[in-house]
A and B are shown apart, each in its own frame.
Chain A
Amino acid sequence: MQMEGFEQWKEEARQWVQQGIEYALQIPPPQLYAAAAVLVLTTLLLLFIRLFKRSKSNTVVLTGLGGSGKTVLFYRLRDGPSHQGTVTSMGPNEGTFILHYESTKKGKIRPAHIVDVPGHSRLRTKLDDFLPQAACIVFVVDALEFLPNLSAVAEYLYDILTKASVVKKKVPLLICCNKTDKVTAHTMEFIRKQLEKEIEKLRASRSGMSEADIANDFTLGIPGEAFAFTHCINKVTIAEASGLTGEISQVEQFIREHVKP
């Protein structure tokens, strides 16, 4: 029975196709062209609409050196306190969800699209895939092992702050001093000062002397003045957090500020 129905259906379909082709052959070319043009225009229109929509992005990019605690933070934002640790990431973590602390709230909340980009330098090229859609960036810094990594942190931050996709769209950035649950963690004031000092050095070695051999798109700061984060075209703020113990309210606030509910 079923088989028969299927056969019949197939036969019918074949006839339709046949008719369709014959019909298409009868149509004079100008009409065909017109139809094609309409098709193309519609597609373009749809694309435009998508692009337009995208400008209100909800993408939050978590970045920072390896081991700074991005993955812990990511799952803390998503699930709250419920996992058993992390290892070095080999690929990005990505998810669109309502932040855990808001999950009990009533009313309609816009989910945020959060991406955790691995810090391993071989994987950093992945960052360029996500930055163009970023609504805001959370740059995670290990406040515990801060000084040994200072120059690497500053360099990575410098690279991000001078990327065209960040500067042009003035993507706000939060420097998140993580692991402040430990008493030996550096304070955020200290971290800010050190980073500013280190970036000042980078500014000297990169923009002052060698314009073209480094792929930075823009230069940073105001010429003739010592660098401060307030000089950045995009808004750069700093906060303390601990992904492990869950003191991440400042990060959550920052995300909510830029991904409007």
Chain B
Amino acid sequence: MLEQLLIFTRGGLILWTCKELGNALKGSPIDTLIRSCLLEERSGLASFNYDAAGAGYTLKWTFHNELGLVFVAVYQRILHLLYVDDLLAMVKREFAEVYDPKRVEYSDFDETFRQLRKEAEARAEEMKKAKQVNNKPVNDGRKQGQGKKVGGFEGGNKNKSEANGDADDNGKNRKLENGHSNGNHHVVVEGSRGTVVTNGKENESSNTGAFDVSKLQKRRGKGTKKTDTVVSKGSKEDPKKKITKKNRVWDDSPAAPKLDFTDPVEENGNENVEVVAADQGESMMDKEEIVSSDSESEEDEEGKDAKPDTKKKGWFSSMFQSIAGKANLEKADLEPALKALKDRLMTKNVAEEIAEKLCESVAASLVGKKQASFTRIFSTVQAAMEEALVRILTPRRSIDILRDVHAAKEQRKPYVVVFVGVNGVGKSTNLAKVAYWLLQHNVSVMMAACDTFRSGAVEQLRTHARRLQIPIFEKGYEKDPAVVAKEAIQEATRNGTDVVLVDTAGRMQDNEPLMRALSKLIYLNNPDLVLFVGEALVGNDAVDQLSKFNQKLADLSTSPNPRLIDGILLTKFDTIDDKVGAALSMVYISGSPVMFVGCGQSYTDLKKLNVKSIVKTLLK
């Protein structure tokens, strides 16, 4: 049974709900869908699962982009309703006919809906029968593989063609097509959680917006196998080889020595030098953002970029279209522009599956929209993409650490930050930079050396501590890091230190014992901030690292509400030139904001992420 079907505007006004169905939904599946899926650029998915308040709903949706309407159907997940996509498409078509922006009441739509529902149910029934008789695929054009490639889109595509009004005469045709695809799938996954063909895969993983690693893995596997040469080239490109090291230091503090003290020999380094060196002026966190001038000046390159895409259609027709304003955008019109954008994102080192998801979501927001006069499709798509990128990179919550530090101080508790990440990304170095920045704001800091795994780690941290003249809590290498952290926090509480920065051992995301230890450390100490330190150099691996870290923290935790990663510190940002994609990949995959960016070798080289300039660079 369908639980509910809603029609509302993008502005959030409900225009119509099915009173007949009437049952109140448990929890707030619609708001959750909007907040954690549609507004997170995941609307390219085909369905969304909501499990809370004792409900197990699946939600499906479709947009009418031109009218700015959203149609959402909610049903119990255990029921595999086959007709939902079909019904949504029909409701969309019919409702668009009667919609008037000034009207807010559509009780006369009840009757239409009843009809549509009957039709859809009957068709589904018919399909089932047809399939039982003949469960071999009739039509080879729709290979499974192909379906998967387009992923969540399939639904949208179908809807589109129907919405164009020619649905009635090709109704049969459509039925067949649907019947085939649904049926085919149904046989395969009878009893599994999949719902409808093209999105069985998506379905299983879209739990309340959380990300499913396995799916991404699968996707990536597929992506690289594609015959699409440009795509695979982009993704395979080894970022490390192409890097040109470019140090952007904007203040004139003396070139600082390397911050790497891994070598214990340096231990007895001379005290004087160290103290001098530790005063390197204002941390870059506090400087006004300087958008590198090169990205500012190239705003109007669109025209040039657009050419390759419009060429195909012929200069005249595209010109005419741009003047007259094309009727409605179709998926096929967007395809070349999306492809170009996806490739561009990938050359900026954005993980492939993320570039693809983004493009799907952008397409979902554009299909069916009227194209404005005097614009090219490419610029329309680019503008939509830009908006999406800004939305993703804008933090969902406050990243004002100083305020949180003060709040903790008021409660007479130290503010605890745990730095986690894989090996060699610069955890300790950037921990020191954060410490330096905090010191400059008259916050007292203590370091806790909880990397009791790698030899030399404690000494390395000790050296930083001495240079910055801040206390360090260490217990050698034998102890359990979780316990060391606990004792450090107790010590900080005793002597009124404001912030405890906990250094942990670098670990690969697949190392189960070490991940378990980390999970324990976090569970035991309940830090205020779990900061993931990641290299800005990583490409596709960014997704793997972050999602596995989150996954493992969730799986291995003994608590019912496991703590996940709250923020990201991107290191080596100075070495990547314009390949800033890792920032996007990491934020998208984890939903956490980039709180710091490490961009050099001195203590001052710590910045905030400049969303605008990143977006500009990504689309350049």
**In the complex, which residues of chain A have a beta carbon less than 8 angstroms from the beta carbon of B9?**
93
- Evaluate contact between B398 and A152: CB separation under 8 angstroms: yes
The tally of residues in B whose CB lies under 8 Å from a CB in A reads 43
**In the complex, which residues of chain B have a beta carbon less than 8 angstroms from the beta carbon of A31?**
none
Taking CB atoms and an 8 Å cut-off, the chain A residues in 62-96 that contact chain B are: 66-67, 71, 74-75, 79, 82-93
Query: Which one of B402-410, B461-469, B477-485 is at the interface?
Result: B402-410
**B interface footprint on A152-181 (CB within 8 Å = 1, 0 otherwise):** 100100000000000000000000000000
Q: Which of B17, B104, B288 contacts A82 (CB 8 A)?
A: B104
Alpha-carbon gap, A215 to B289, bound state (A): 9
- Evaluate contact between B396 and A122: CB separation under 8 angstroms: yes
Interface check B196, CB cutoff 8 A? no
Taking CB atoms and an 8 Å cut-off, the chain A residues in 110-144 that contact chain B are: 116, 118, 120-125
**In the complex, which residues of chain B have a beta carbon less than 8 angstroms from the beta carbon of A214?**
400
Query: Which one of B177-185, B387-395, B571-579 is at the interface?
Result: B387-395
Given A82-B104, A84-B17, A87-B6, A123–B31 Cβ distance below 8 Å? no
Chain B nearest Cβ from A96, distance in angstroms: 12
- Evaluate contact between A90 and B10: CB separation under 8 angstroms: yes
- Evaluate contact between B286 and A213: CB separation under 8 angstroms: yes
**In the complex, which residues of chain B have a beta carbon less than 8 angstroms from the beta carbon of A232?**
none
Taking CB atoms and an 8 Å cut-off, the chain B residues in 1-53 that contact chain A are: 6, 8-14, 16-17, 30-31, 34-35, 38-40
Query: Which one of A11-19, A33-41, A50-58, A203-211 is at the interface?
Result: A203-211
Given A87-B31, A212-B287, A213-B608, A75–B104 Cβ distance below 8 Å? yes
The tally of residues in A whose CB lies under 8 Å from a CB in B reads 41
Interface check B227, CB cutoff 8 A? no
Given A88-B34, A90-B10, A210–B392 Cβ distance below 8 Å? no
Alpha-carbon gap, A58 to B10, bound state (A): 24
**Closest Cβ neighbor of B395 among chain A residues:** A121
Alpha-carbon gap, A93 to B68, bound state (A): 11
**In the complex, which residues of chain A have a beta carbon less than 8 angstroms from the beta carbon of B441?**
209-210
Interface check A151, CB cutoff 8 A? yes
Alpha-carbon gap, A32 to B19, bound state (A): 68
- Evaluate contact between A205 and B402: CB separation under 8 angstroms: yes
- Evaluate contact between A211 and B403: CB separation under 8 angstroms: no
- Evaluate contact between B400 and A155: CB separation under 8 angstroms: yes
Chain A nearest Cβ from B75, distance in angstroms: 17
**In the complex, which residues of chain A have a beta carbon less than 8 angstroms from the beta carbon of B470?**
none
Q: Which of A66, A83, A202 contacts B13 (CB 8 A)?
A: A83
Chain B nearest Cβ from A91, distance in angstroms: 4
Interface check B442, CB cutoff 8 A? yes
**In the complex, which residues of chain A have a beta carbon less than 8 angstroms from the beta carbon of B35?**
66, 88, 120
- Evaluate contact between B394 and A202: CB separation under 8 angstroms: no
**In the complex, which residues of chain A have a beta carbon less than 8 angstroms from the beta carbon of B608?**
213
Chain B nearest Cβ from A68, distance in angstroms: 12
**In the complex, which residues of chain B have a beta carbon less than 8 angstroms from the beta carbon of A258?**
none
B11, B30, B68 — which one has the most chain A CB atoms within 10 A of its CB? B11
- Evaluate contact between B403 and A205: CB separation under 8 angstroms: yes
Q: Which of A75, A116, A123 contacts B391 (CB 8 A)?
A: A123
Supply 10 further A-B pairs (C-beta < 8 A) apart from A87-B30, A209-B442: A82-B105, A90-B12, A90-B34, A93-B12, A151-B403, A204-B406, A205-B402, A210-B286, A213-B287, A214-B400
Contact sample, A vs B, 8 pairs, CB 8 Å cutoff = A84-B17, A86-B12, A90-B39, A151-B407, A209-B442, A210-B285, A212-B288, A214-B400
